[in-house]
């Protein structure tokens, strides 16, 4: 036994080396997690935007399709004729928040079939004061088909914050849309734009949403004491048969808030000026529809 020699292994890691390794590993792991989390949040944001855009485009497509057909009467044999706002008891003519129309799609001389008596807007349960803004912040945009459930707006697309409508009309039947006659000469001069109006106070008279006559409906047109555009009086009586075009606004909101995102923008939705300050993503879509079947004799 006197010839035995103990050998010491000197090729291991020191405590300091192990601590450095753990520290570096934690930095690397943290960076990987941060990158993953950033990518995940980006994906969630893109997914929310994609969902909103699909939703709002689908809803607008349905609105445009039906509005374009408003007043359609293949053989001209229906009395009264199909029109926009056929029944003031259902929707007040010229409403800035609801749109109602009739059409004879199958040429059977009535508007009593499916998809022939249609209205769009929020259900009263979601918009109690009928201002076109969802009471709970967002709600389903509704479509009312008189042949399915009379008076009920059935959900067609979810998560809309606001909806609005305005109308261009030909009050004197001269074939031209009424315009902002800034100099009062009765002639449409350069810079005198089409009147886009609605019945904003229920007096059955058109109010022009472009209050300053600059050709743009924006926040500059709103009443300083409210979040609404009150409009300027035109003195023209609302006559649905004189409407020739409809302007539509839809404001969609994401289903879930995104804590990493803040929306502090101002959205002009028809007669509504909505300033937000929260974590929901939004998309505003606006379009104009020519009612080619309105005004035909």
Tell me the per-residue pLDDT of 242-281, one tens digit each, with 9 for 90 and over. 999 999 999 999 999 988 899 999 999 999 999 999 999 9
Is it the case that residue 233 has pLDDT exceeding 80?
yes
pLDDT at residue 45 in the model: 62
Q: pTM of this prediction?
A: 0.85
pLDDT tens-place string over residues 65-98: 999 999 999 887 788 889 999 999 999 999 999 9
Which position has the higher pLDDT, 50 or 109? Answer: 109
pLDDT for 43 equals 61
DSSP 240: G
CA angle, residues 57, 274, 238, in degrees to nearest 5: 75
Token output for 210: 């472009």
Spatial contact of 40 and 34, defined as CB atoms under 8 Å apart: no
pLDDT attached to residue 47: 66
Cβ 68 vs Cβ 282: under 8 Å: no
What's the whole-number mean pLDDT along residues 40-46?
64
Q: For position 296, what pLDDT does the model report?
A: 64
Q: Name the helix (H) or strand (E) containing 266.
A: strand 266-269
pLDDT > 70 fraction of the chain, expressed in percent and rounded: 91
β-pairing, 272-275 vs 232-237, is unpaired
Neighbour-count burial for 94-105, b at 16+ CB within 10 Å, e otherwise = bbbbbbbbbbbe
Which residue has better confidence, 78 or 132? 132
Confidence bin at 6 (pLDDT 50/70/90): low
Instruction: Give residue limits of the domains in the chain.
Output: 41-290
- Mean predicted lDDT score pLDDT of the chain: 90
């Amino acid at each position: 036994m006197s010839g035995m020699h103990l050998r010491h292994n000197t090729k291991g890691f020191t405590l300091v080396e192990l601590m450095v390794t753990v520290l570096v590993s934690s930095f690397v792991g943290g960076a990987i997690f941060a990158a993953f989390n950033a990518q995940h949040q980006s994906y969630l944001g893109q997914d929310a935007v994609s969902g909103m855009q699909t939703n709002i485009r689908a809803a607008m497509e349905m609105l445009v399709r039906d509005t374009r057909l408003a007043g359609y009467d293949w053989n001209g044999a229906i009395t009264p004729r199909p029109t926009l706002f056929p029944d003031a008891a259902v929707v007040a003519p010229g409403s800035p928040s609801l749109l109602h129309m009739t059409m004879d799609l199958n040429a059977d001389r009535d508007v009593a079939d499916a998809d022939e008596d249609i209205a769009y807007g929020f259900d009263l349960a979601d918009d109690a004061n009928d201002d076109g803004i969802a009471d709970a912040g967002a709600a389903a945009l509704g479509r009312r088909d008189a042949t399915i459930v009379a008076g009920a707006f059935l959900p067609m697309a979810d998560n809309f914050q606001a909806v609005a409508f305005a109308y261009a009309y030909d009050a004197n039947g001269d074939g031209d849309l009424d315009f902002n006659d800034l100099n009062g000469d009765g002639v449409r001069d350069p810079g005198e734009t089409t009147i886009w109006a609605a019945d904003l106070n229920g007096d059955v008279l058109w109010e022009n949403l472009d209050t300053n006559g600059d050709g743009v409906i924006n926040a500059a047109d709103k009443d300083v004491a409210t979040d609404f555009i009150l409009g300027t009086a035109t003195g023209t009586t609302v006559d649905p048969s004189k409407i020739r075009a409809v302007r539509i606004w839809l404001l969609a909101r994401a289903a879930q808030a995104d804590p990493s995102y803040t929306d502090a923008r101002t959205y002009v939705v028809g007669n509504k000026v909505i300033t937000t300050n929260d974590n929901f993503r939004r998309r505003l879509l606006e379009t104009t529809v020519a009612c080619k079947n309105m005004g035909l004799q």
